Chains A and B, each alone.
Chain A
């Protein structure tokens, strides 16, 4: 984690998407807006680590509350948009290497057993990567995979660096530079000018504005030309390759073409409106420490800021699917900032692994950590709810946030994964604000459910071709 000093975005930095050093005129600032009623939810996949304290996670009886989820479920805006999925068990195909951390980290969203490449790596593409290939996402970025990784434990297992894979063994690196992500995703939609009303005539421009606009337009054309030459280089290269090698270059070529498309949108999509709030995406970096980045001092601030980023990115229709990880697989956060009574030297080893029912202190700390994550989800939900989108719904209504965990319980438990859907999923969920409690369900149903909600009518997922979606979960067709 690099230093987070000087987080004020400079105007120059924000211009990069349009051309490094040139001013960006108003019409480019207004690009990338949300143009239509979303028919597909905004999708966010979250991955927490080290399981939960089962007895305190699930509501019991008819009460819509629990020790861990109390604040989230009681939230008047977010709580009714939460759907809990109880009874989800890991369904391994064989005997993958590693332990429950690896199995869930790599398997929850892929439905596949992890494979061994020295260390356990993902055994197949995660659902987000499947969807961005199969479905036509129109957002400027199909996918951003990001996370907060600041625990002062070194990477102990290369496979646990990322839970997102494009294919067996092929990780999508986790981006941790929030500053860079804002610049990348929002570099063209900066802050100064309020978004105009849809269809309104742009304000009159000065001669200087016109010159700047012309220069910026030329710069974008130059970038497009450069990318077109890159694409031609790739096409030439691809023609020389055998089948297996062709895939990697083909993916590269697709990424270049997508970027060309984004640049084209800058030139043509001049007056699209954005939801309220999307005109001010500049984050406040207040409170981000400038030192101690190899420990957890930064974690609480960064976690919150990443929730802001995620909400902005999906609500402003900039990213098709966002995946986010709280640390690495099997992470060793200390959660010192929570000041939990009974916390020991290492949360992973000394708390989560000991939460076996006979260690009351470990259980208590697990609940405390669980509450923190639940409150982060609540915060994300609130942020999403603050955006009104073009269909008169909030971004929370139009989103599907999946809150998953690599483990069901701290001691490597793989039965009863704590899974929550947050958001209305653009109406694809016929009901929210309840817990699905239909007995045990194989975890492949999670990927199948997400796929169905997003518009991919698969009947199974991972290595189970006929898993179906979650039983007991009402989906609107």
Chain B
């Protein structure tokens, strides 16, 4: 049988955000037979096979009015003789009127069938709590490359990408703070060698021009200050300037002095880390908000929307008018959202959210897809990027348009893929709507030899509804009786054997029926009505969501998804990790729910999501960790 490697891998991976999902009413499908609570009817202690515990209702924070209550929930489950229990509390320190009960956090994942728990009334959880502690975050390879590109040009940035190893992807993102390892000997050696090499290749005449041919101390000081400021996103401190000056003095000539400064700056922690520490002179205020400095806010904004340090305009505005008001920050965000780099960052968010990577990394069997060419795959990538840009990234799009819009920028190389879907250059919206209909997405979320309903069903469950699907039993991958090489049945018929096997159907019935709805699209995104001589049945079913019901094909599914508040909230959950550059925890629940409500009120406009985020106290404050 061929569940395929990637299905097996997805089995092994949980949903992003872990336990947090459940407190957002994205309820655990442990045991894969649970009924999922609808939004707003949150229950506490959701471990176990069914949702359980927590008799109180959580209040719904929204629009800045803080009304959540804290509660306690507990749940127990039994699976295979092993009992798992979960207890959790969520509490806050202020807010509006408390409602009884509340959200219990989630106990250990069980695979059982029952659970129980009680919720108690409690104090109020504040949604304006600061949820991220003071920290320094190492730049990812990509971010470091971007900064180096800004400083020294594109070839230097490319050299960074070549020399440094990949950073680990956590929840689809390459820069989550909790995914980074500590700096090792080898990493430092590479960065140091890079700094030496790139500084040697730098042209001091261009970078540090001086009217005096041999240079001057004044020119050197000016260069040190300006170069470091761009690299660090803030002016140097006096001790830093002194150190740089000392280093530069070892140069035999002006050019060498300039290069030594470059070499220092490129490996300084002030470049390598993003500082989220606040004013150095401010005393510690344990557990209280620490305001970020204006320069730190500027870097937060620029890494979010450009993946690099502040550009000249942002730096100038930061120093002239400051970023002390929400309006000022939003004005900068509005400006930056129109830039290509913001589109790139939004695409990066979408790629992480949809659990994707470059489409050309999806393996495809040449035996099964002999007509698939590199040009077609490149066309898929181009169309995907364009779609994200048009429908979402530029700030004018909505989540609904992202899910239901029709692709209009279709590369010629995709004509063989679209086939009869294209009439006079236009796509048939009854077949193709939204991002899930794009050949690139369908190609990526498929196996190398087939469409793979499991893969696509899990995409919807895990990534779009933030529902946790437990891993299969360890032996499942070996025993599933599907033969991918059987040319006498359709893919659906092959996978429907899951329903006959008691060991499989508990879980597979939660996502296979969603995946079946994609069956009219093959493993490289081509529309089909037959497979192996039989009619393709592309009827799918959504269950355990707020938009349950049957559908046929990804276009109809997308129309349903566009109406889902659960999916909106799930996307916001992913955005939280993307924006705060860390994994979510239970303590983030209230904040994320608040953002989700604002996002919904704003009509699902992604631009507003960004604007609300940069206006949030969590954007400009950190919790004191000292």
Spell out A's residues near B (CB within 8 Å). Answer: 2, 16-17, 19-21, 95, 97-102, 116-121, 141-145, 152-162, 165-167, 169-177, 180, 183-184, 187, 218, 221-223, 225-227, 229-230, 232-234, 236-237, 240-245, 247-249, 251-252, 255-256, 258-259, 262, 294, 330, 332, 345-346, 348-350, 353-354, 356, 411-412
With the chains together, A252 CA to B189 CA distance in Å? Answer: 11
A222→B165 contact, CB < 8 A:
no
Interface string of B439-462 (1 = CB under 8 A from A): 000000000110000000000000
**Residue interface bits B1-23, CB-to-A below 8 A is 1, else 0:** 11111101111111111100000
With A117-B179, A171-B181 already in contact, the answer to whether A348 and B196 are too (CB < 8 A) is no
**CB neighbours of B180 from chain A (8 A):** 170, 248
CB-nearest residue of chain B to A172: B181
Query: Closest B-chain residue to A240, C-beta based?
Result: B277
Partner pick for A99 among B11, B239, B240, B365, CB 8 A cutoff = B11
Q: How far is it, in angstroms, between the C-alpha of A353 and the C-alpha of B481 when the chains are bound?
A: 12
> What distance in Å separates the Cβ of B109 from its nearest Cβ neighbour in chain A?
8
Distance, CA A56 to CA B479, complexed state (A): 23
User: How distant is B471 from chain A, measured CB to nearest CB, in Å?
Assistant: 6
- Taking CB atoms, residues of chain A closer than 8 Å to B363 are 152-154
With A161-B166, A233-B243 as known contacts, state yes or no: A345 contacts B365, CB within 8 Å: yes
Question: Which chain B residues in 262-287 approach chain A with CB under 8 Å?
Answer: 263-264, 267-270, 272-273, 275, 277, 280
User: Given A100-B474, A256-B188, A251–B243 Cβ distance below 8 Å?
Assistant: no
Of B38-46, B133-141, B386-394, B536-544, the one with at least 4 CB within 8 A of chain A? B133-141
**In the complex, what residues of A have CB within 8 A of residue B472's CB?**
99
Query: CA–CA, A245 to B177, complex, Å?
Result: 11
**26 residue pairs bridging A and B, Cβ less than 8 Å apart:** A97-B12, A97-B470, A98-B471, A99-B8, A99-B11, A118-B583, A141-B186, A144-B186, A157-B12, A158-B13, A158-B168, A166-B181, A171-B179, A177-B163, A180-B163, A230-B269, A233-B268, A233-B269, A240-B277, A241-B625, A244-B625, A247-B182, A249-B273, A330-B8, A349-B2, A412-B478
B13 & A154 in contact (Cβ 8 Å cutoff): no
> Which residues of chain A come closer than 8 Å to B11, judged between CB atoms?
99
- For A177, list chain B residues within 8 Å (CB): 162-163, 165
Q: Are B6 and A156 in contact (CB under 8 A)?
A: yes
Q: For A139, give the chain B residue with the smallest CB separation.
A: B185
The 7 closest A-B pairs by CB, nearest first: A156-B9, A242-B625, A251-B182, A173-B165, A255-B188, A252-B183, A119-B13
| Complex alpha-carbon distance, A240 and B279, angstroms | 10
Asked whether, in the complex, the Cβ of A118 is within 8 Å of the Cβ of B170, the reply is yes
A161 vs B260: C-alpha distance when bound (angstroms): 36
Instruction: Name B residues whose Cβ lies closer than 8 Å to a Cβ of A.
Output: 1-6, 8-18, 82, 109, 133-136, 138, 162-163, 165-172, 178-190, 192-193, 195-197, 199-200, 239-240, 243-244, 246-247, 250-252, 260, 263-264, 267-270, 272-273, 275, 277, 280, 357, 361-363, 365, 448-449, 470-472, 474-475, 477-478, 484-485, 583, 624-626
In the complex, A46→B240 CA distance in Å? 43
A225 to chain B, nearest CB (A): 5
- Complex contact A118–B136 (CB within 8 A): no
Contact B185 A245 (CB under 8 A): no
Q: Are A102 and B12 in contact (CB under 8 A)?
A: yes
- Complex interface: chain A residues within 8 A of B272 (CB): 252
Q: Among the listed B16, B190, B269, which residue makes an inter-chain contact with A180, where contact means beta carbons less than 8 Å apart?
A: B190
- Which residue in A20, A120, A225 is a CB contact (below 8 Å) of B12? A120
Whether B9 and A330, one on each chain, are in contact in the complex, defined by CB atoms closer than 8 angstroms, is yes
A346 closest partner in B (C-beta): B5
The CA of A225 and the CA of B196, in the complex, are separated in Å by 13
* Closest chain A residue to B365, Cβ basis: A345
The answer on a CB contact under 8 Å between B14 and A230 is: no
**Bound-complex Cα distance A184 to B197 (A):** 13
Give the contacting residue for A170; candidates B182, B243, B244, B361; CB below 8 A: B182
Q: Are B12 and A101 within 8 A (Cβ)?
A: yes
Q: Within the complex, what minimum Cβ distance (angstroms) separates A365 from chain B?
A: 15
* A225 lies within 8 A of B197 (CB): no
Contact A259 B184 (CB under 8 A): no
Q: Which residues of B contact A243 (CB under 8 A)?
A: 625
Which residues of chain A have C-beta atoms less than 8 A from B365's C-beta? 345
Other A-B contacts than A17-B193, A236-B240, A411-B475, 16 sampled, CB-CB below 8 A, are: A16-B197, A98-B12, A99-B11, A118-B18, A141-B189, A153-B5, A154-B6, A156-B9, A171-B168, A173-B167, A221-B250, A226-B195, A230-B269, A232-B239, A248-B182, A252-B188
* Cα A167 to Cα B180 with chains together (Å): 10
Q: Which residues of A contact B196 (CB under 8 A)?
A: 16, 19-20, 223
B512 to chain A, nearest CB (A): 18
B286 to chain A: closest residue by CB = A242
- Which residues of B have CB within 8 Å of A258? 185, 188
Check A175 against B186 for contact (C-beta < 8 Å): yes
Docked pose: A143 CA to B182 CA in angstroms: 13
Most chain B beta-carbon neighbours within 10 Å: one of A118, A218, A412: A118
Chain A contacts of B268 at CB under 8 A? 229-230, 233
Which of these, B109, B166, B189, B471, contacts A173 with CB under 8 Å? B166
In the complex the two chains form, what is the Cα distance from A165 to B181 in whole Å? 8
* In contact, A241 and B185 (Cβ under 8 angstroms): no
Q: Return A354 CB to nearest CB of chain B, in Å.
A: 7
Q: Which residues of B contact A237 (CB under 8 A)?
A: 136, 269-270, 273, 275
Given the complex of chains A and B, what is the CA–CA distance between A356 and B478 in angstroms? 9
Find the B residue at minimum CB distance from A232: B243
Q: Is the CB of A332 within 8 A of B264?
A: no
CB atoms of B185 and A118 under 8 A apart: no
Which chain B residue lies CB-closest to A156? B9
Instruction: Provide the bound-state CA to CA distance between A230 and B239, in Å.
Output: 12
When the two chains form the complex, which single residue of A159, A247, A251, A330 contacts B5, counting CB atoms closer than 8 Å?
A330
Contact A20 B170 (CB under 8 A): no
B182→A167 contact, CB < 8 A: yes
Complex CA gap A156/B193 in Å reads: 32
* Cross-interface CB contact of B2 among A142, A172, A229, A346, cutoff 8 Å: A346
Indicate if the CB atoms of A233 and B270 lie closer than 8 Å: yes
- Residue B192 contacts which of A101, A154, A223, A411 (CB distance < 8 angstroms)? A223
B477 near A412: Cβ-Cβ < 8 Å:
yes
When C-beta atoms are compared, the residue in chain B nearest to A152 turns out to be: B363
Residue of B nearest to A320 (CB): B185
Q: Is the CB–CB distance between A20 and B357 below 8 Å?
A: no
User: Shortest CB–CB separation between residue B458 and chain A, in angstroms?
Assistant: 12
A161 close to B182 (CB less than 8 A):
no
**If A16-B193, A118-B14, A237-B273 touch, does A251 touch B183 (CB 8 Å cutoff)?**
yes
Closest to A180 in B: B163
Contact of B168 among A161, A218, A221, A249 (CB under 8 A): A161
